[in-house]
Amino acid sequence: MRARLISLRMGAVAVAMSAGPVLRAQEGAQPQAEAKIEVCAVPASRTLYKPDASGACAKSAHEKISWNQVGPKGDKGDQGPAGPAGEAGAKGDQGAKGDQGATGAPGTQGAVGPEGPKGDKGADGAGFTWRGVWTSGERYAANNVVHFEGSAYVAGQDNSGVRPDPRCETRAGCTWNLLAQEGATGAKGDPGVKGDPGAKGDPGVAEYQLVSTQIATAVPAQTAYTLEVPCPAGKLALGGGGTTTADIMTLSRSIPATSGKPPVGSGWSVTFRNDGVLNLAPTITVYAICAKVNG
């Protein structure tokens, strides 16, 4: 085979490789991580050839050389800048539904909403009728309200003679439903503050004495008769009255004495009238309650 020479320039040295035992370059081949190139150099012709299978040169005068030997691993270089973002990939299939998460914390109270519109007027309800104190002989209609032993009850149905019972509170089937129960007696309150002195009272009285006078006299029909009794000196009449033995006569006036010599109130005066058609001769008595008035 015709020798095929490849000229390489290494510095100022030109070398040629033959096709026989000479190293052949393989297009597209990448050197292995630990590979190295070994050749034998012929000083006279400045050519290179490949060593035999055992790695020896053909002559001892030929020098064995190698290059491309991988050196020790160097330090890690700085990270390069981030590349541009890639295009969004196609949308993936929807995943399976996950488990329900834990309940979150309550949110803050929202603001009060606006007032809603006014609702329609409701239907009129049944009214109560107050019937006063419950009486056994009365008839009561539904919704009648009575007072019984300090509490108020409303009739759940028409009834008569059914005694209200506080144990039957508002529920179906009760003749009377408890409406307002009597409250328990409250605790005794604290003493009040001392009041201001009152106004000066009216003059007092003393030495009460009942005095009377009596007369039997004729009283014609359709006429009246007046009789007075004076109080003892220094006393005034506080009250009085009169009687007659004729039942058909009427007492038409009973007042403090206003006639005669004593002053007003110093005695008592009564007037009886005969309204019948017959003349009468009754006994008339007048009395007065007399006492000394102080002040």
Q: What is the pLDDT of residue 150?
A: 87
Which helix (DSSP H) or strand (DSSP E) does residue 69 occupy?
A: none
Please check whether residue 49 is in contact with residue 39, taking contact to mean a CB–CB distance below 8 angstroms.
Answer: yes
Query: What mean pLDDT is predicted for residues 177-183?
Result: 85
Token duo for residue 215: 């007369």
Q: What is the pLDDT of residue 70?
A: 64
Q: What is the pLDDT of residue 10?
A: 39
User: How do beta strands 129-133 and 144-148 pair?
Assistant: parallel
pLDDT for residue 223 is more than 80: yes
The residues facing 64 across adjacent strands are 40
Q: For residue 11, give Cα distances in angstroms to 8, 15, 39, 129, 160.
A: 9, 11, 17, 131, 139
Of all residues in the chain, what percent are helix, strand and coil, respectively (each to 5)?
Answer: 0, 35, 65
Q: pLDDT band at 157, cuts 50/70/90?
A: confident
Please check whether residue 103 is in contact with residue 66, taking contact to mean a CB–CB distance below 8 angstroms.
Answer: no
Please check whether residue 178 is in contact with residue 145, taking contact to mean a CB–CB distance below 8 angstroms.
Answer: no
Q: What is the pLDDT of residue 263?
A: 61
Q: pLDDT band at 254, cuts 50/70/90?
A: very high
Instruction: Please write the tens of the pLDDT for every residue from 7-45.
Output: 333 333 333 343 344 444 334 444 444 567 889 999 988
Q: What is the pLDDT of residue 8?
A: 38
Greater model confidence, 163 or 6:
163
Q: What is the pLDDT of residue 22?
A: 41
Cα–Cα distance, 142 to 126 (Å, whole number): 10
pTM of the model: 0.34
Query: What mean pLDDT is predicted for residues 40-64?
Result: 88
Q: pLDDT band at 202, cuts 50/70/90?
A: confident
CATH pick for 129-180 out of 2.10.10, 1.10.10, 3.30.1360, 2.40.10: 2.10.10
Q: Where are the domains of the chain?
A: 1-26+35-69, 129-180, 205-293
Q: What percent of the chain has pLDDT over 90?
A: 30
Please check whether residue 213 is in contact with residue 286, taking contact to mean a CB–CB distance below 8 angstroms.
Answer: yes
Q: What is the pLDDT of residue 186?
A: 86
